[in-house]
Amino acid sequence: MKILVAVKRVVDYAVKVRVRPDRTGLETANVKMSMNPFCEIAVEEALRLREAGAAAEVVAATIGPAQSADTLRTALAMGADRAVHVLHDPDPTRPLLPLAVAKILRAVTLQEKPGLVILGKQAIDDDCNQTGQMLAGLLQWPQGTFASKVLLDKEKQKATVEREVDGGIETICLDLPAVITTDLRLNQPRYATLPNIMKAKSKVIKKVTPEELNVDIRSDMEAIEVNEPPKRKAGVILSSVDELLDKLKNDARVL
Ligand code: AMP
């Protein structure tokens, strides 16, 4: 069985993001970019399933500009077998929306015919948490979102997924093929070793365009303006509980 993993290139989680002077979006020029952390967890899980004998091949896919190839190389250096790069250079005011990404991933899925597609539960740049659900909907495949544990039964063609929900852990059973999205506690992604980084350079990255996949990615949403959150005011140290109560009552008016 093949596993397809969707990986997104995003501003590195440790970078303090800045809004572009024209307020059309976030500054990405000369900013460190990395694989979305939830996608790293998705790659790791696919590799563990392959190493456990539950899958034969791991294919990483991304949709993005030429530089997104770096993200695919990272997935290949972690251990993915090959990659698919859907080339798309987004207009900053019209970023690719989850529905368009899901339509493209659907087309890639129909070409690759994986038994399982794993995505991150959310991309840390848009925080949408929609793509996996939309992909499952478009494919009419079952979905296990926010997975904190995944078990595959190759014989029965089923996946058992533990999901983190508000009340605890929900365990569900999915018929394969299925879509799974990863939560933070699913695993601890491995670091790529130097020999594997070297090996990744010779692995195959297939390039396609949304047009070649016959996918219409036109969006009906336009980002009007992006603004920094208001700066927090400095705090004050109060000398007594009475003073606190007074401030809550008369200044904040919450009592
Ligand atoms: P989102 O719904 O935007 O929060 O993204 C959820 C997940 O969808 C990500 O963790 C990725 O696995 C996948 N995804 C979103 N955008 C892309 C993209 N441009 N290329 C590849 N995968 C993506």
At 117-126, the pLDDT tens digits run 999 999 999 8
CATH code for the part of the protein at 2-250: 3.40.50.620
- How many percent of the chain have pLDDT more than 90? 78
Q: pTM for the complete prediction? A: 0.91
122 CB near ligand 1 (under 6 Å): yes
Q: Is a pLDDT exceeding 80 seen at residue 92? A: no
Q: What angle do CA 26, 31, 36 make, to 5 degrees?
A: 80
Helix axes 37-51, 69-78, angle to 10 degrees: 40
Expressed in angstroms and rounded, the spacing between residue 72 Cα and the centre of ligand 1 is 13
What is the distance between the terminal CA atoms of the chain, rounded to a whole angstrom? 61
Q: What average pLDDT does the structure give for the chain?
A: 94
Say whether pLDDT at 93 is over 80: no
Residue 156: its pLDDT value, please? 93
Whose alpha carbon is nearest atom 17 of ligand 1?
A: 8
Residue 145 binned pLDDT confidence (cut-offs 50, 70, 90): very high
| Ligand 1 binding pocket includes 37 (Cβ within 6 Å) | no
Closest residue by CA, ligand 1 atom 4: 122
- 34, 40, 131, 183: which to mutate for ligand 1, most atoms within 8 A of CB? 131
